[in-house]
Structure 1
């Protein structure tokens, strides 16, 4: 009985153990697969969305910058003028200093030279215009009377009333257009006081660029984070070199235009040839707009004083000079200096004129050229190897070299 009872218990325990192995406990239920809503969006659409919000962000920042520049144009435009003048005068001041001139004397001579040249050109041009203004007005009335008589007696059979209506419409249109032109021309300042204040600010800014350009640039670079200073410093060097090339080439192109049109007016016997050449020189600094306006003025003076035959010849000379500039000087000289495509120049000038009138057209090309060179330099990545200070000096856009202290890093 005892053995049978023990055997029975063992068999029952074995059955229980075997039963446990045969019927394991139920496993927990498997959760349904997780589904993300982004999985249903095509990959191309996600890429487009990522680009879109980044482009919107960049566009918003650019719009804010343009808005601030327009609001602060009374300060921004004189400073930009000073930068352009400084790009021309800084090399001249450095040249004098390399010939052992004292720094203060080199800066003074550079500033006085610029003031004498610009003031002399304006004085000569204004003097000739004032002296010939009365004769020009009288001759314009004579030319208009002759043209009016030809219209009334000519083959087109224009009546007196039709001619009067046309003149009234032309005067009204000219008044509307003149208001737009005056608004654009006075965008630097709406009053004479604003203009004088801007001129003084430009002179002081130019003077400080000549005196302490190195310190100004080091301060600007120091505003950026330490890791970005090498890129900012190198991009600034490239942009400054491009700006210097632009100013030099623009002076050369303006001189060639002025000599060509001025000599043409002189040999044709057109009065006011000297002020015409000066206006062409000054107007050439405004791309496209300045050439058209000054060329039209030369043709108008030729028409008033010398008749339509000489005016047509003068028009041919103006077009020839402009074609030489557009197809020879611009591609060979300006294109090499600033590396901007002619289509980019046209778009930049149109955009600048739309946003800021004549000042916008004046600064459109140099700003586009400098930004283009700086962006290309930063995207190229050549600055990544300049993290440390391997040399004993650091180049700066405004001055040739910047002495480097121990432990100094770019822009620090």
Structure 2
């Protein structure tokens, strides 16, 4: 066998397209011989060839057509997998938010896996412990509220109130009873739909927790991969800006959770002192709603104040005043103290970001809007504005 034939046989992989027939290979055999000649120990796959002529009309046309096709395919992919992408994005957002705690442990000689496990187990333990302590009173209070709701409604529609006048004029109560009696199937479907929604929420929560664990474990590798996409000459600057963005998101998430816990605890104590019913249920609602920037605390204050009116008018007014004072304390003392200068977003940008995020992605969008807005503002200040000033 000539040397070229021997080289061609060596270049042909032992596990691909065997048996190797030299005579049928034709011009491929010559290419295989050259491939074997260009291979070395340092470069087992050979040296890269010359780059393509990017200015070739054919290449430009192909790239343009491919760009249109890829853009269309990506658009359809995003629209078709929107819900899944939201879960993935939320998990990554939570992972970045928990990263400061993991990094704090890792700096104290915790292995990365042990630090991630410690943070996640602590989070799960707190959540499970809260459920164990709160589930029984929550169920009891929710049941009591459901049982007493008709009494509350009857009280509101009596004693010459304006709601009673509306009920007399338009027959609201009779219409509601007729609606309930003639739409049993609709009610059953609504109950089944609510059960399906609860199941979906639980499933999505488990998926987000699993993805968050994976993202936390591989976050250093993800970070390295992201920076590898940046050209080497710009990589140091990208690392400084990118790490600052990660730190701002993480600081915001942890700070927001801490502030919401304080709001829920203070509300619970206030409601217990003044004997407002469903104290734990309402405190939990305040804690969850307080996570939503700008509007969440206001909604919680209105709901709790209305429930406090069932005790007495003075208690309802005092509860409303309490929320006004607490929100001033939270906005001007607690939030700056907890978050410091982690998130530097003007008030008008905060409101606009929350409105846009809530419109696009609901509650999740409203929660993640402010740290994302902080990241965008950082890019504008450090990258775009200096270039425009030099232009």
With the length of structure 2 as denominator, give the TM-score of the two structures.
0.66
Q: 1:295 to 1:122 in 2, by over 3 A?
A: farther
Contact 1:70/1:356, CA 8 A, preserved across alignment: no
1:1-400 to 2 correspondence within 5 Å?
72-151=81-160, 158=165, 160-162=167-169, 164-165=171-172, 195-304=201-310, 306-330=311-335, 334=339, 336-379=341-384
1: distance between equivalents of 2:172 and 2:361? 34
Contact 2:138/2:280, CA 8 A, preserved across alignment: no
Unaligned runs of 5+ in 2: 1-72, 180-189
Q: 1:73 to 1:367 in 2, by over 3 A?
A: farther
With the length of structure 1 as denominator, give the TM-score of the two structures.
0.63
How far apart are 1:166 and its partner, in Å? 8.7
Q: 1:65 to 1:329 in 2, by over 3 A?
A: farther
Aligned residues: 302
Q: 1:119 to 1:283 in 2, by over 3 A?
A: farther
Which of the two has higher C-alpha Rg?
1
2: distance between equivalents of 1:118 and 1:208? 19
Q: For 1:236-261, what per-residue CA distance to the aligned partner results, in whole angstroms no more than 9, with x for missing partners?
A: 11101111221232123213322332
RMSD between aligned alpha carbons?
A: 3.6
Of structures 1 and 2, the one scoring higher in RCO (CA 8 A, sep 6+) is: 1
Task: Report SS of the residue matched to 1:338.
Answer: coil
Q: 1:167 to 1:91 in 2, by over 3 A?
A: farther
How far apart are 1:144 and its partner, in Å? 2.1
How far apart are 1:196 and its partner, in Å? 4.8
1: distance between equivalents of 2:75 and 2:246? 21
1: distance between equivalents of 2:371 and 2:198? 27
Contact 2:309/2:316, CA 8 A, preserved across alignment: yes
